[in-house]
Structure 1
Amino acid sequence: MRTLKFLQKHLMTATSYMIPFVVAGGILFALSVMLSGQAAVPDAGWLAKLNQIGAAGLALFIPILGGYIAFSMADKPGLAPGMIGAYLANEIGAGFIGGIIAGFLAGFVVIQLKKIKLAPSMRTLGSIFIYPLLGTLITGGIIVFLIGEPISGFMDWMTNALNNLSGAAKVPLGALLGAMISFDMGGPVNKVAATFAQTQVDTLPYLMGGVGVAICVPPIGLGVATLLFPKKFTRVEKDSGIAALLMGSVGITEGAIPFATADPLRVIPSIMVGSIVGNVSAFLFGCLNHAPWGGLIVLPVVDNRIGYIASIALGAVVTAIMLRILKKDATELDEALEEGQDIDDLDINFEDI
């Protein structure tokens, strides 16, 4: 249970810093897409500028996540290695899961570096120069030289595997695509599945019919869960649920990430099952989506809109029910971690987590 306490403390501390970036960036991005009326990112005018602002927030949240995991572990010397490491992880396509790994890696590296005894005259320099510099070099080096190539190869393998399955039966293909879309929410697995469907939108629009549903089920399902089962979520999570609903409606899967980072072992399986149900349902209903996008915003270019909406509803309800079953009620520990409080003095039984 000490390991669980360790992981949860640092993840939730980082999540509390990350949420404003996801919410601000995601809502502005969503508004730009919604107001454009094109079910796509606007490329001209003031809406393109609004989209640019929102995209900046979404681009920053993974470095913020990794940075504050390392900060929580190793204090200020861990901040730069964590942020830079998470940025690099995202650049090579590892997504938010890569950002989490980079954050814990940076925190561990800096903790080990701080065990090296420095002369008294060098201690201040260590915190602002030596530890951040060496921590960034080691963390960044591991990500760029050791992790980047395997991720690239893994994405190529997944792409080839999906191409070989393009003629498979709709139920297994829909289940696979739904699971991939929601597994890492913008990471390499998600990108492979989304690209597979987007590149065939003109010839096989049923693929985007399912994937368009799977894209929005995680944030919508989580938003619905915060409304139906509020005791399962902290105060900040309940507030984030409204933003998740808006982001999901315009096809921004990342609205689910704050929930997944805070409780990955319960949230990720729940949204995967929900997305599988939604994707398979859309395939079986014969929904065709003629836009390389997802969410409710593409309804004007969807064939069988009732089936499309029903598939989203089914996936969201299944997600919410899964969360109701798997998640325990939010505790004093969760609220303390969310506020960044020192939890060591709290009277909490970790066997209940």
Structure 2
Amino acid sequence: MDELKRIRQYLMTGVSYMIPFVVIGGVLIAFSIALSGVEAGKGANVTNPVLVNMLNIGVAGFQMMVPVLAGFISYAIADRAGIAPGMVGGFLAMNIKAGFLGGIIAGFIAGYVARWIKGWRVPPTIRPIMPIFVIPLLSALVVGGLMIYVIGNPIAGLMESMTAGLKSMSSGSSVVLALVMGAMIAFDMGGPVNKVAFLFGAAMIGQGVYTVMGPVAVAICIPPLGMGVATLLAPKKYDETEREAGYGALAMGLIGITEGAIPFAAADPLRVIPSIMTGSAIGAAVAAMFGVGDHAPHGGPIVLPVVDNRIMFIVAILIGIAITALMVNALKKTVVEEVENGKGMDA
């Protein structure tokens, strides 16, 4: 149990440093898209030079999110020597499209490897260069090699098999397809599984089929909106950092940025991920049942002008939000109880 508590502390360290980058990226991207709007068949269409620069700043914040998460998970485990290999591992996780889950894996690998190397008995002449040269270099080589050669290929193969699976399902029940795609969208919030479902929905727009992207557009916004609402409904079940992240998640959800839920999922994956997957899957299924269509490769309420059956689009989102918020709050304990009982949030 103590080890599980330490693992949660490592995760929370990474999350606490990551949240400002999520806010910078999510809010600036959200504002630039909100002020520009979306177009049928094209998605977000940001053309104003000032808004383009705002969008680029937001994208830069998002690009740093996973490396910072991984770097500071590693830092929590191995101290200063873990930052560089952790960030390198997180950057590689982004390059192989492993998402924030890949970043978490990279952070733990880098941290534990760096801590192990720190324990080596070395001659006194080498000891001064250990934290600035030997430990970061060897740790980066280990975590980099694992991310490229061990983790990267399985992820690529998984994406191909998932795409083939969705294509085979598209000729069957639209509700079943929507359930699967909704769960995929929420699973890793912008990671490889999410991207497979999103790109499949976007590809169907090119074929003139809008009722696949419709459920996807619903599922995209439910994780951040659901978690934002959850923090408002039960604030005692979230610490101050998470409550602040909830406001940012609400803004991101309105613009269809699923990554707004990542801080919550990274901090408490066993409770948050099943909750957002359930909400997104059911919301997407409701949208499919009523033939909701989306003419733009984007999601969230911002695409309402290019949506078919707008009322049920909104209803499906509200249902998914309610399920996510109620489920995650039912699973969580209050922060005060957890501190008093010394149990942490591991389960």
TM-score, L = length of structure 1: 0.94
**Could you tell me whether the CA contact under 8 Å between 2:268 and 2:345 is conserved in 1?**
no
Q: How does 1:208-223 map to 2 (within 5 A)?
A: 208-223=213-228
Residue equivalent to 1:70: 74
The residue identity in structure 1 corresponding to 2:271 is R
> Cα 1:351–1:32, aligned 2, differ >3 Å: closer, same or farther?
closer
Residue equivalent to 1:181: 185
Q: Distance in 1 between matches of 2:338 and 2:93?
A: 30
Superposed CA deviations along residues 211-267 of structure 1, whole A, max 9, x for unmatched, are 000000000001111111111111111111111011000010000000001110000
Question: Which range is displaced more, 142-151 or 253-262?
Answer: 142-151
Unpaired runs of 5+ in structure 1?
A: 335-346
* Residue in structure 2 matching 1:243, options 222, 243, 248: 248
Residue equivalent to 1:276: 281
Superposed CA deviations along residues 105-158 of structure 1, whole A, max 9, x for unmatched, are 001111111121122232221001110011101110111111111111111111
Matched, 1:349 2:327: no
CA-CA distance at 1:331 after TM superposition:
3.1
CA-CA distance at 1:349 after TM superposition:
2.3
Residue equivalent to 2:146: 142
Tell me the percent identity.
50
Q: Distance in 2 between matches of 1:327 and 1:37?
A: 36
Moved over 6 A (4+): none
Residue equivalent to 2:123: 119
- Three-state SS of the structure 1 residue aligned to 2:212 is helix
The residue identity in structure 1 corresponding to 2:10 is H
> Cα 1:352–1:160, aligned 2, differ >3 Å: closer, same or farther?
closer
Matched, 1:53 2:46: no
Matched, 1:35 2:43: no
Residue equivalent to 1:233: 238
Matched, 1:80 2:84: yes
CA-CA distance at 1:43 after TM superposition:
4.5
Q: Distance in 1 between matches of 2:229 and 2:344?
A: 28
Matched, 1:323 2:328: yes
**Could you tell me whether the CA contact under 8 Å between 2:37 and 2:45 is conserved in 1?**
no
Residue equivalent to 1:157: 161
Matched, 1:255 2:260: yes
* Cα RMSD, aligned residues only: 1.4
Matched, 1:193 2:186: no
The residue identity in structure 1 corresponding to 2:32 is S
Q: Distance in 1 between matches of 2:319 and 2:337?
A: 32
Superposed CA deviations along residues 71-125 of structure 1, whole A, max 9, x for unmatched, are 0000011101100001101110110000000000001111111121122232221
**Could you tell me whether the CA contact under 8 Å between 1:93 and 1:188 is conserved in 2?**
yes
**Could you tell me whether the CA contact under 8 Å between 1:41 and 1:51 is conserved in 2?**
no
> Cα 1:219–1:352, aligned 2, differ >3 Å: closer, same or farther?
closer
> When the two structures are aligned, how many residues end up with a matched partner?
341
Residue equivalent to 1:343: none
Q: Distance in 1 between matches of 2:272 and 2:227?
A: 9
- Three-state SS of the structure 2 residue aligned to 1:205 is coil
**Could you tell me whether the CA contact under 8 Å between 2:338 and 2:344 is conserved in 1?**
no
Residue equivalent to 1:339: none
TM-score, L = length of structure 2: 0.95
CA-CA distance at 1:3 after TM superposition:
2.7
Matched, 1:14 2:14: yes
Residue equivalent to 2:113: 109
**Could you tell me whether the CA contact under 8 Å between 1:180 and 1:190 is conserved in 2?**
yes
> Cα 1:214–1:144, aligned 2, differ >3 Å: closer, same or farther?
same
